[in-house]
Chains A and B, each alone.
Chain A
Amino acid sequence: MFLKEYIKDVYSGVKSLLIGMRRTGKYFITPREIITEQYPEFRAQLSERFRGEVVMPHDEKNEHACTGCTACELACPNGTIKIITKFDIQPDGKKKKAIDTFIYHLELCTMCNLCIVACPTDAIKMAQNFEHSVFDRNTLTKKLNNPGSKIREGIE
């Protein structure tokens, strides 16, 4: 009785191993199913929603859509965004609030997207680059508005 059980165990054990080996062997002889991709020769195409870094798009006239309302600064959970505002003198003599510097600390950003959702004028968006490593961490503190840029006409 014991012997019979034992032989049965050995038989099913060997069988289970062979089943597993057959699966491994199948992938060994069909390498086209291998899914490894070589980096950096091949870089993944990330979808347009991927959150890589906060950027502020400027159009060809070097204009952006940021009014300096600081909604994004308040929405950010970890103080990544700092907005310094100034007052522009309009042609008609009136003062108007505008951004002077939009500081973005990439090293603090957790890519949570809360700032993008909070922005009423869609002035900032997420870029898809993901290779952020640098030698000096100071270079991760960025100024998002281009030098000399101003707010686009008609945005309140």
Chain B
Amino acid sequence: MYTETEIIKDNIKAGSETDLIINIGPQHPATHGVLHLIVTLDGETIKKIEPHLGYIHRSIEKMCESLSYRQFIYVTSRMDYLSSHINNYACAMCVEKGLQVEIPRRAQFIRVLMSELTRIASHELWWGAMAMDLGAFTPFFYAFRERETINDIMEETCGARLTMNYMVPGGVMYDIHPNFQKRVKDFIQLFKSKIHEYDELVTGNIIFQNRMKGVGYISEEDAISYGCTGPVARGSGVHCDIRKLYPYELYNEVEFDEILETGGDSFARYLVRVKEMHQSIRIIEQLIDNIPEGDFQAKTKAVLKLPKGEFYTRAETARGELGVYIVSEGGATPYRIKFRSPGFSNLSALEHMAKGSKIGDLMATMGTLDLVIPDIDR
């Protein structure tokens, strides 16, 4: 086995005498989880970054093979726990594709609303955490003030704050809470009255801008060849929003803009996420008053069996493209499940982005990648 000590020794051998090797993580506040980066430095300049994964590997893909099509969805909340609704959504869609069930319109509305709320909550948390990476402590609390409101809405309707397991094959688990519409509207009001504070505190701040602009640059071609998706790729001008490219369910009926920035640096990625929050609010505003009456769940059999074959769906999570690939042998459990998670590909571009820059800039670059480590390891 290739142990960590050996990796470090090899790095020392490969480098020159003056190289300095430091370990960032696995327990480091700026990696937001158990990510281990072996960074080779020449003075303060980064020469090489080697991410070392697997500290939170729970073999979710293998676990799913022994669970039924109803049961495996809840595990996927634990991959990218900040957009758990969207993970569940993608899995539920994949199962529905295999079963060929028609989803009631009411369920589609609820699903899209929940996904967009999750996206805002995820971006809010990212905003606070990223400002904290750069040394600003209070933005975290500002972000959590709004995020708590979303969490309360989730708690009331779905029953949980983070790992909801609300999407089931055929629709959603139960109908929205009677207060749901009112509370979402209250949230929109709150969000609109507070979002300018984000710009005042962080976006316009000169220290922040100087630390972000030109840091962690990745060009459009490189973003594509590294397989970046989501705000990371859109910050480099890659047109890659799954909601626009391959609209699923309601996304071709609602109006929203795909945010594209051409800067390619950390600041561009920052702007993409902040602007995406506004677009999510726009989607919610269009849907919240028009939720049609009807069933919230299609009738499905007690034991779901997918026909023999392969099924693939994709969804746009807060971090990028999530692909769910199911191979079925016709039984009650999947034969093989593969998740294409956005965090893994985005992390692979980190070395390219940070090479040649100073070690202090690594945190800014990593912050704007918005890595969720359980999503990378699965």
Give chain A's interface residues, CB within 8 Å of chain B.
9, 12-14, 16-17, 19-20, 22-24, 35, 46-47, 49-51, 75, 77, 110-114, 117, 126
**A49 near B74 (CB under 8 angstroms)?**
no
Q: Which of chain B's residues has its CB closest to A49's CB? A: B159
Q: Which of chain A's residues has its CB closest to B66's CB? A: A77
Chain B neighbourhood of A112, CB < 8 A: 74, 165
**A47 near B155 (CB under 8 angstroms)?**
yes
**A114 near B160 (CB under 8 angstroms)?**
no
Given contacts A49-B157, A111-B160, 12 further A-B contacts (CB under 8 A): A9-B206, A16-B209, A17-B206, A17-B207, A23-B201, A35-B148, A47-B159, A50-B160, A77-B67, A77-B75, A114-B70, A117-B168
CA–CA, A111 and B155, complex, Å: 13
CA–CA, A111 and B159, complex, Å: 9
CA–CA, A138 and B75, complex, Å: 25
CA–CA, A74 and B345, complex, Å: 37
Q: In whole Å, how far is A131's beta carbon from the nearest beta carbon of chain B?
A: 15
Chain B neighbourhood of A114, CB < 8 A: 70-71, 74, 165
Residue in B75, B148, B165, B206 whose CB lies within 8 Å of A13: B206
Residue interface bits B196-209, CB-to-A below 8 A is 1, else 0? 01001110111101
Chain A neighbourhood of B174, CB < 8 A: 49
**B173 near A113 (CB under 8 angstroms)?**
yes
Q: Does B9 contact A (CB under 8 A)?
A: no
Q: Does B156 contact A (CB under 8 A)?
A: yes
CA–CA, A13 and B159, complex, Å: 46
CA–CA, A134 and B372, complex, Å: 30
**A113 near B165 (CB under 8 angstroms)?**
yes
CA–CA, A49 and B180, complex, Å: 13
Nearest 9 Cβ contacts at the A-B interface? A13-B206, A77-B71, A112-B74, A49-B159, A47-B156, A16-B204, A51-B159, A112-B165, A16-B206
Chain B neighbourhood of A14, CB < 8 A: 206
Q: Does B138 contact A (CB under 8 A)?
A: yes
Residue in A13, A20, A117, A126 whose CB lies within 8 Å of B201: A20
Q: In whole Å, how far is B157's beta carbon from the nearest beta carbon of chain A?
A: 7
Chain A neighbourhood of B160, CB < 8 A: 50-51, 111
Q: Does B177 contact A (CB under 8 A)?
A: yes
Residue in A49, A77, A111, A117 whose CB lies within 8 Å of B177: A49
Chain A neighbourhood of B205, CB < 8 A: 16-17, 20
Q: Does B28 contact A (CB under 8 A)?
A: no
Chain B neighbourhood of A35, CB < 8 A: 145, 148
Residue interface bits B254-270, CB-to-A below 8 A is 1, else 0? 00000000000000000
Q: In whole Å, how far is B256's beta carbon from the nearest beta carbon of chain A?
A: 29
Q: Which of chain A's residues has its CB closest to B165's CB? A: A112
Chain B neighbourhood of A46, CB < 8 A: 155
Residue in B67, B75, B155, B173 whose CB lies within 8 Å of A117: B173
